[in-house]
Amino acid sequence: MWRRSGTTCGTMSGMPQSDAGLAVAPPPGQSDPVAVRRVLTLSCPDRVGIVAAVSAYLAEMGGNILEAQQYSDVDTANFFMRVVVEGPAGAFDVEVFRQSFTSDVASRFAMDFTVVDPAVPRRLMVLVSRLDHCLVDLFYRCRTGSVPASIVAVAGNHDILRPLVESAGIPFHHVPVTATTKETAEQRLREIAADARAEVWVLARYMQILSPSLCADLRGKAINIHHSFLPSFRGARPYHQAYARGVKLIGATAHYVTADLDEGPIIEQEVARVTHSARSEELAAVGRDLECQALARAVRWHVQNRVILNGHKTVVFP
């Protein structure tokens, strides 16, 4: 673990070492020739001294805080924080930092935390069925950098989107799902994700229900998109049902996947007003745009480590 020390002997990856052989951050006034940026997010029971402890630790490691956001939930008495910090590459190596921060800070405050290198794109596996609008939108946003992530695999319970996916140079995996093959199919999805080293699952209008065990394993790592007509209009044609009822507001919801169908912690929602003159096909077209927008923002914020689970809710730092 990284420590400041007035006594050094030898070097480790170009950095000083203490007498005990532990690498140390450079002394004040002397900077590591390589500076790196990290994003630290954390949550813990709220109490006095959390911000002071985190700030002091980062300063001790030679870090400069570039952004800092925090939130205290008075209802749950939990504290949430997101920090962007820049510091010497040695002290802020992700694994080294994780171990050091755990022992020096996180264990004292019962923290759950993550630290990531924002320069490394997160790896997505996208699940699809027949509709392609959310998938195509994600293709474009990932390619242009609007969503800082890489789509490393696409899996579908239908084969209809294979030409589209493969034309983008991304592997497509056809994984049919029936009532009798659901367990086998989900095991295959796990294998695909593992082989592709996917970190996040995105259900881009994937019309299958994941099992409770898979949902539990993917807690906070799988994002779903659906229309916001639930619970009033269920089934495969919600926009037609909404048209028949004369709705004046339509929308889309992006949320984390849980065993409670379409009731996971909400990350983002988008809405649009419509009038009596809008036909069902127009409602569906507006809905597709809303679904793309809400899903893209949810995925972007997730891969930027701006979202922290707060029970059945989320904290989203803008």
Give the model confidence (pLDDT) of 67-82 as tens digits: 999 999 999 999 999 9
When mean pLDDT is compared across 133-137, 162-166, 271-275, the lowest value belongs to 271-275
How is residue 137 annotated by DSSP? H
Q: What percentage of the chain reaches a pLDDT higher than 90? A: 79
Question: What is the mean predicted confidence (pLDDT) over 286-296?
Answer: 96
Residue in 46, 73, 104, 262 annotated catalytic: 262
Cis peptide before 121 (omega within 30 of 0): no
**Residue 217 CB contacts under 8 Å (≥ 6 apart), including other chains:** none
Contact 264, 258 (CB under 8 A): yes
Q: How many CB atoms lie within 10 A of CB 276?
A: 8
Q: Is the pTM of this model over 0.85?
A: yes
Homologous superfamily of 122-316: Formyl transferase, N-terminal domain (3.40.50.170)
Q: Is 262 a catalytic residue?
A: yes
Q: How far apart are CA 58 and CA 40, in angstroms?
A: 10
- Specify the pLDDT at position 30: 53
Q: In this predicted model, what pLDDT tens digit does every residue of 82-93 receive, in sequence order?
A: 999 999 999 999
Please check the confidence at residue 114 and state whether its pLDDT lies above 70. Answer: yes
- Specify the pLDDT at position 240: 83
Q: Domain limits of the chain?
A: 11-116, 122-316
When mean pLDDT is compared across 26-40, 121-135, 219-233, the lowest value belongs to 26-40
- Specify the pLDDT at position 8: 32
Please check the confidence at residue 12 and state whether its pLDDT lies above 60. Answer: no
Which tokens belong to 84? 């962007």
Q: How far apart are CA 128 and CA 140, in angstroms?
A: 16
Beta strand residue intervals within 184-273, DSSP E? 200-203, 222-227, 249-256, 266-273
Question: What is the mean predicted confidence (pLDDT) over 165-173?
Answer: 97
Q: What CATH code is assigned to 11-116?
A: 3.30.70.260
Which residues are bridge partners to 104 per DSSP?
Answer: none
Q: Which of 158, 35, 9, 152 is nearest to 90 (CA)?
A: 35
Q: How far apart are CA 32 and CA 29, in angstroms?
A: 10
Which tokens belong to 121? 């794109």
